[in-house]
Amino acid sequence: MTLEQQEALRIAVLNFLAPRHVAAFNAEQIADRLKAERKLDFAVTAAQVNDACGVLVKLGLAEQVVEMAFGVVPHYQASGNGIIQSEKWRLARGMA
């Protein structure tokens, strides 16, 4: 995956999570929705989405949450800063 594709994936993931910020999703669910909604012009795997989520968490744009007490699959949701950043990107691209 190129650097441009990695950036596009992070943006697509955050733009998926931000409007759904009250819910949390695992990487497989996010990858499935990005594919179904045709948000990217390249194929992605759940592992690549998980990596993108990890970067978003490190940047403070997403949070890793635990939905079930014994869950082993990480779930992610947009943070407050992530919601704001997503809105800025959408406004800049005229998508609001």
Residue 95 has a pLDDT of: 61
Residue 66 has a pLDDT of: 73
pLDDT digits (tens, 9 = 90+) for 43-61: 999 999 999 999 999 999 9
Distance, in Å, from the CA atom of 25 to the CA atom of 41, rounded to the nearest integer, reads 22
Residue 83 has a pLDDT of: 92
The answer to whether residues 17 and 76 touch, using CB atoms and an 8 Å cutoff, is yes
What domains are there in the chain, each with its CATH number?
A: 3-92 (1.10.10.10)
Residue 14 has a pLDDT of: 96
Residues linked to residue 62 through DSSP beta bridges, in sequence order: 78
* 85: number of Cβ within 10 Å: 20
The list of the chain residues with pLDDT below 70 reads 67-71, 95-96
Residue 15 has a pLDDT of: 94
